[in-house]
Structure 1
Amino acid sequence: MMDIYKHKSEFKVLVFVIALLIGGVSLYYTDTLVKKLVEREKEQIELYASALRFTLDPENNEPLTFIFDEIIKSNQHIPVILTDHEENIITYKNIDIPPGVSPERKERILQRELEIMKQEHPPIIVEYEVGAPTHNKIYYRNSDLIYQLRWYPYAQLSVIAIFGFLTYLAFSYSRKAEQNRIWVGLAKETAHQLGTPISSLMAWIELLKHDEQFKNHEVLGELEKDIKRLQITTERFSNIGSKPTFKPEDPYEVVKEIVDYLRPRISPKIEMEVVNYTLQGTRVLMNRHLFQWVIENLCKNAVDAMNGAGKIEIKLKVTANHKKTIIDVTDTGKGIPKSKFKKIFAPGYTTKKRGWGLGLTLAKRIVENYHKGRIFVKASEIDKGTKFRIILPNQQTEGVESYELVNKKNPLRKVLESLEKGNSLSEKD
């Protein structure tokens, strides 16, 4: 049986094709019915015309209206106008004339209807004698039933499309909600399970501190850092599904802290560099531990993509209006095909044999749902590297005016202006 979730693109195409097929068959069938009804109405008017030809006395025009009314009387749907050979209106049937209208307005309404009839169907000529100069014309147009039947499938398909769209939204929302519940449950259970061994490790470290052999050993300091890291990780998992706390943070300090922690714990063949072009006093409202998790995930993915050797550069800058901070994480790894720029953020997507495919999904959730920012693949080239971009709204940027004033007065103004150009970039740069 086909896994719909793994083949959702193909499944969507299949559903779309089936919907088009149903719509096409419905339109074709309705169009066929309309043509048959049009033909039937034409035959009916032809019948009226034949009846007039055989029943009218060529020398007496008085019975004309009477015969027309009697024949057309059974017709309750097809709008019809009878004229003479000069197209003067003699009588009409099934045309809505508002009650109490003036003769002039009535004439305008009938003339407008006559023009519509001329555009829809050629008139049926009723001759008293073959080749006679005088004759009558029967003009008609499609009945309202034809128009209703012709537009009905479009209305039907529109309703089906709206219903299908709403159903899709409901299904998508339900699926995301279910996924969120699973992630939240998994995260909280993980945090709970980590609590016991962390407490045990902390007790062991306290014990080692009182041991003469280990109390001054540098390993204890590193172990304490790792335990603190585990505590932070536990807090991160606990925050998933809960409303995290936020406070103004210097984005450079937040990024630098996590990079300093990761640097000695990854391959020495990987160079990590943080370049800061943000303005003094730039603050972003963020949850430090959750956002550091985003940077950590991006860096770990970069390490895997570079097979343990290469360079990771993290560049921070602000947009020209100073309202947003841009953080670019660039690696020299194997790159990502353009067709997968969005797919890599989908739950369960991974290129690793033992990966869960949740790292970038959680990163996207943390950046976009919690921090109201954006994260996406800015650029990537196969075998050259990838650049991820994070855009966060600034809470404040203090000292911008004085910063620009210093630039103008500084003798190294050109150098500073060049640096400022590096700062004031748009989100597209």
Structure 2
Amino acid sequence: MYQNRLFFNLNQQLSRSRIIVITVLLTIGAGVLYYFNQLGQALEEREKTYAFLYAESIRFTIEQGINSPCDYTFVSEVVAANETIPTILVDQDGVALDQRNIPELSDTSKVLSAEEENAILQRKIEEMALEHEPIAISLNIDGSAENAENMYLYYSSSLTLKELRYFPYILLATFLIFGTLAFIAYSSSRRAEQNRVWVGLAKETAHQLGTPISGLLGWIGVMRSQPGFDQTIGDEMEKDVNRLETITTRFSNIGSVPAMKEENIGLVVKETIGYLERRISTKINWSFENTVSLDTMTSINRNLFEWVIENLCKNAVDAMAGVGSLQISVFPHQGKVGIDITDSGKGISKSNQRKIFDPGFSTKKRGWGLGLTLAKRIIETYHNGKLTIYHSEIGKGTTFRIVL
């Protein structure tokens, strides 16, 4: 495998940058999750401590009795201060005696019957038991161990703590969404800039080719006027110069909306192959089959479409090292037109099949690795078609399929 050094370096730098950015983002994300997890644990411990203090305040109040001369100011403030932690006080038989901060029971707009209220309390008790172990309150009112009673305080985390547990994920998701949108915008801008560079290069190439092509046509005319000049040679030379003009037109069309025209696709492919067959290795066994009816017309830009066929055929010849068989088939395909180009070359590995259309990727030591990239863009962007590797097997060959 060979990859153009320029594109290889660019891809390598971009890959390294992506790895660094992803590593930094993952580190930041892990740090955010760790920080909020520690914060949540600290708040949970604080609420647990307050729940025990709340339970102890209830025990003290019950044991001392209402008529006790003891100062209840602090104890009553502890009980009244609980405005966030949902709690349910139950006796040793599981009957709810008191509740605080239960959302379903705090809505004064709803009037609930005793059965409905009790059902809600029993459901909340079950949920709280799964979340925290209930706090046992041992009551010894008359000082007799035999008459001691147990009460239980069920509690759950406050709404603030529950929201805090989800907050880091919401925060990271928000950053991820904005980061993705920023990356898409950056990628689109960079891709548009690259496209402008390639379009400018292509158009400048077409402009530079114009003068020598005109000169070549003039020199062919001079040679034709010479006595004894073989006019068949002049004919072939003019065909090649005309081909150069076609290539120049292709380059000048890049970046512009190509003019589409209804063409007999089978005839176009046949003529393109006929030109290549006389100028490529004589050790290639060419085969062409057209099963599409002659009145089937397809909207294409002939110059660009011929470029694709030439590119795929030349790649096939290179894959066969100039020796082998090349079969081109034009056939109806699910209401569309399919074109298969099959060679008997070395084939393409599964790993390379995923990268074969990437800019700069090539299995050859020469070239820029742009041929298949441009071919795919011409077919899929300009002709609304599809160019894929239909089948490839190492040591047996490859089939490229175009669907229009």
Range into which the TM-score falls when normalised by the shorter chain? 0.7 to 0.9
Q: Identify the residue that residue 87 of structure 1 maps to in structure 2.
A: 94
Match of 2:50 among 44, 47, 50: 44
Give the residue type in structure 2 aligned to 1:391: V
Larger mean CA deviation between 14-23 and 336-345 belongs to 14-23
Listed as ranges, the matches of 1:9-158 within 5 Å are 12=18, 15-16=21-22, 18-57=24-63, 70-96=77-103, 97-104=106-113, 109-129=120-140, 130=145, 132=147, 134-158=149-173
Q: Residues 127 and 61 of structure 1: is their aligned pair in 2 closer, same or farther, counting only changes over 3 Å?
A: farther
Q: Structure 2: 5+ residue runs without aligned partners?
A: 1-7
Q: Number of residues paired by the alignment?
A: 387
Q: Identify the residue that residue 390 of structure 2 maps to in structure 1.
A: 378
C-alpha deviation, 1:31, in angstroms: 2.6
Distance of 1:257 and 1:62 partners within structure 2: 112
Deviations 1:264-312 (A, max 9, x none): 1111111221111223432221111100100101111112222121111
Deviations 1:135-171 (A, max 9, x none): 3321110011211121112112211221232233223
Distance of 1:297 and 1:351 partners within structure 2: 15
Q: Identify the residue that residue 3 of structure 2 maps to in structure 1.
A: none
Give the residue type in structure 2 aligned to 1:136: M
Q: CA RMSD in A?
A: 2.7
C-alpha deviation, 1:314, in angstroms: 0.9
Does the 8 Å CA contact 1:194/1:234 hold for their aligned counterparts?
yes
Q: Identify the residue that residue 170 of structure 1 maps to in structure 2.
A: 185
Does the 8 Å CA contact 1:349/1:357 hold for their aligned counterparts?
yes
Does the 8 Å CA contact 1:337/1:382 hold for their aligned counterparts?
yes
Match of 1:202 among 195, 214, 217: 217
Larger mean CA deviation between 94-103 and 258-267 belongs to 94-103
Distance of 1:294 and 1:62 partners within structure 2: 99
| 1:328 matched to 2:343 | no
Listed as ranges, the matches of 1:248-267 within 5 Å are 248-267=262-281
Q: Residues 270 and 200 of structure 1: is their aligned pair in 2 closer, same or farther, counting only changes over 3 Å?
A: same
Q: Identify the residue that residue 5 of structure 2 maps to in structure 1.
A: none
Give the residue type in structure 1 aligned to 2:377: R
C-alpha deviation, 1:15, in angstroms: 4.5
SS of corresponding position for 2:63:
coil
Deviations 1:20-41 (A, max 9, x none): 4443443344333323322221
Does the 8 Å CA contact 1:341/1:376 hold for their aligned counterparts?
no
Deviations 1:83-104 (A, max 9, x none): 3333333333233311232142
Give the residue type in structure 1 aligned to 2:365: K
Match of 1:351 among 363, 367, 370: 363
Q: Residues 342 and 48 of structure 1: is their aligned pair in 2 closer, same or farther, counting only changes over 3 Å?
A: same
SS of corresponding position for 1:345:
coil
Distance of 2:32 and 2:240 partners within structure 1: 66
Larger mean CA deviation between 30-39 and 234-243 belongs to 30-39
Does the 8 Å CA contact 1:375/1:391 hold for their aligned counterparts?
yes
Q: Identify the residue that residue 285 of structure 2 maps to in structure 1.
A: 271
Q: Identify the residue that residue 291 of structure 1 maps to in structure 2.
A: 305
SS of corresponding position for 2:32:
helix
Does the 8 Å CA contact 2:92/2:151 hold for their aligned counterparts?
yes
Q: Structure 1: 5+ residue runs without aligned partners?
A: 393-429
Does the 8 Å CA contact 1:121/1:141 hold for their aligned counterparts?
yes
Give the residue type in structure 1 aligned to 2:343: D
Q: Residues 277 and 12 of structure 1: is their aligned pair in 2 closer, same or farther, counting only changes over 3 Å?
A: farther
Does the 8 Å CA contact 2:61/2:75 hold for their aligned counterparts?
no
Distance of 2:344 and 2:158 partners within structure 1: 71
SS of corresponding position for 1:378:
strand
| 1:368 matched to 2:377 | no
Distance of 1:131 and 1:211 partners within structure 2: 134
Q: Residues 68 and 252 of structure 1: is their aligned pair in 2 closer, same or farther, counting only changes over 3 Å?
A: farther
Length-normalised TM-score, structure 1: 0.82
Give the residue type in structure 1 aligned to 2:108: P
Distance of 2:149 and 2:158 partners within structure 1: 29
Q: Residues 4 and 227 of structure 1: is their aligned pair in 2 closer, same or farther, counting only changes over 3 Å?
A: closer
Does the 8 Å CA contact 2:88/2:100 hold for their aligned counterparts?
yes
Distance of 1:9 and 1:375 partners within structure 2: 27
Deviations 1:201-236 (A, max 9, x none): 22222333333332x521010011111111111111
Q: Identify the residue that residue 396 of structure 1 maps to in structure 2.
A: none
Q: Residues 382 and 131 of structure 1: is their aligned pair in 2 closer, same or farther, counting only changes over 3 Å?
A: farther
Q: Residues 71 and 132 of structure 1: is their aligned pair in 2 closer, same or farther, counting only changes over 3 Å?
A: farther
Distance of 2:30 and 2:63 partners within structure 1: 51
C-alpha deviation, 1:316, in angstroms: 1.5
Match of 2:238 among 207, 224, 248: 224
Length-normalised TM-score, structure 2: 0.87
Give the residue type in structure 2 aligned to 1:147: K
Does the 8 Å CA contact 2:57/2:79 hold for their aligned counterparts?
no
SS of corresponding position for 1:56:
helix
Q: Identify the residue that residue 403 of structure 1 maps to in structure 2.
A: none
C-alpha deviation, 1:342, in angstroms: 2.7
Q: Identify the residue that residue 238 of structure 1 maps to in structure 2.
A: 252
Give the residue type in structure 2 aligned to 1:350: S
Bigger RCO (CA 8 Å, 6+ sep): 2
